[in-house]
Amino acid sequence: MGKFDPYKVDLKSMTKDIQEIEYLLENKFFGDIGGDDIQKGKVKVNLTVRKSAGVYELNFSIDGTIIIPCDRCLDDMDFPVTTTNRLIVKLGKDYSEESDEIVIIPESEGVINLAWFIYEFIVLTIPIKHVHAPGKCNKTMTSTLKKHAPKGVEDEFGSEGDAGDIIITDSDTDDTEDVIDPRWDALKGFKEENDNN
């Protein structure tokens, strides 16, 4: 029996117009699937399959928690997942994906493996920037990042405002001001030189 055999749904042999299936995804599932984004988690998937005139509508209700690395300190962080997704499956000659929502599977087989689809639905819930709540990052990493920040840049790491806001301050005053990176001055001179030619 293959690792993902439990996620195969035999649509062709459905005897009822509606079928409900429940999956519990745990660390083994995420490890077996081999995706880069998620290695651990505990997620419940409720699937409802509706058959109508040779077309199968699959509705997924996904809820649970995944463990992903924090973009700032790289420590693991819990990320709640709640999403609903839909997949339309049609029977045809060969396998193909007509769109993000419509898949054609060979009528001779009539079986679809949903493991990768479910994994992708979960991955799509992860925001581009995912960081710990303010003050929850690894303290050692936070102090190292502050230590190596460019001169004049103080990373607040969520102590005030949005987590990860970078505040540029002028060290001579208490007011927050814009400070121009000296590298821009060199580029500005290069641009002026080219404009004069």
**Does the structure show a pLDDT above 70 at 194?**
no
The percentage of residues in the chain with a pLDDT greater than 70, rounded to a whole number, is 76
Three-class SS of 73-110: CCCEEEEEEEEEEEEEEEEECCCEECCCCEEEEECCCC
Estimate to the nearest angstrom the gap between the alpha carbon of 134 and the chain centroid: 20
Tens digit of each residue's pLDDT (9 = 90 or more) over 45-90: 999 999 988 899 999 999 999 999 998 888 899 999 999 999 999 9
SS3 69: strand
Domain boundary residue, one of 123, 156, 175: 123
* pLDDT attached to residue 157: 46
| Together in a domain, 26 and 112 | yes
* pLDDT attached to residue 123: 95
| Together in a domain, 50 and 146 | no
Domain boundary residue, one of 89, 123, 157: 123
Domain boundary residue, one of 123, 150, 179: 123
| Together in a domain, 119 and 143 | no
Q: Which two tokens stand for residue 186?
A: 């060199």
Residue 7 DSSP code: G
Average pLDDT over the chain, rounded to whole? Answer: 82
| Together in a domain, 78 and 32 | yes
Tens digit of each residue's pLDDT (9 = 90 or more) over 171-185: 444 444 555 666 666
> What is the extent of the structural domain holding 68?
5-123
Phi, psi of 94 (to 5 degrees): -130, 165
Q: Which of 1-5, 24-28, 114-118 has the lowest mean pLDDT?
A: 1-5
DSSP line for 158-195? TSSSSTT-EEEB-TTSSSB-----HHHHHHHHHHHHHH
The domain tally of the chain equals 2
Could you tell me if residue 129 is inside a domain? Answer: no
